[in-house]
């Protein structure tokens, strides 16, 4: 029973995070905020694909691994997004985009992603606790 609760928690986290990522990607495109090929590779592999892998694993006997994969992905995404959107100066910083239209979408989704990725780390820990091995 706890494994299904963990799987639902992981899956819900991945779905909500994925929606925010897609909205943020749309703002990037609309504002012509381009990323390097290395940044795009990180985004596709760590921020987009890895959480999906975690959600799939969550429904198998590898639910503990799923929680660890989700936690690692969300941590990587939080560090990457936090740095590029709030610390590094440049076109990908929230301070460098317009305050209206797609600029507002960019800003709001950047903040939402920080919150969702922090939540994703918490969700991963909760899922790990839900799936901990019981004594034999």
Q: 36-92 pLDDT, tens per residue?
A: 999 999 999 999 999 999 999 999 999 999 999 999 999 999 999 999 999 999 999
Range of the domain at 40: 2-130
pTM: 0.93
- Residue 93 pLDDT greater than 80, yes or no: yes
Inside any domain, residue 135: no
Q: Which helix (H) or strand (E) holds 15?
A: helix 2-30
Total domains in the fold of the chain? 1
**CA-angle at 44, arms to 17 and 39, nearest 5°:** 110
Inside any domain, residue 136: no
How remote is the C-alpha of 76 from its chain's centroid?
A: 8
Q: For residue 29, how many other CB atoms are within 10 A of its CB? A: 11
* Mean pLDDT rounded to a whole number for the chain: 94
- Residue 4 pLDDT greater than 70, yes or no: yes
102 vs 70: CA distance, rounded Å: 29
**Confidence tier at 135 by pLDDT (50, 70, 90):** low
Give Rg (Cα) of the chain: 16
């Amino acid at each position: 029973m706890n494994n299904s609760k963990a799987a639902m928690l992981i899956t819900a986290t991945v779905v909500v995070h994925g929606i925010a990522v897609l909205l943020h990607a749309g703002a990037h495109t609309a504002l012509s905020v381009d990323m390097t090929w290395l940044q795009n590779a990180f985004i596709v592999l760590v921020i987009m694909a890895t959480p999906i892998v975690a959600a799939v694993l969550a429904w198998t006997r590898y639910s503990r691994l799923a929680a660890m994969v989700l936690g690692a992905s969300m941590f990587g995404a939080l560090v990457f997004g936090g740095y590029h959107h709030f610390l590094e100066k440049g076109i990908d910083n929230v301070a460098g985009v317009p305050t209206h239209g797609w600029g507002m979408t960019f800003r709001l989704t950047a903040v939402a992603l920080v919150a969702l990725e922090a939540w994703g780390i918490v969700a991963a820990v909760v899922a790990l606790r839900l799936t901990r091995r019981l004594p034999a």
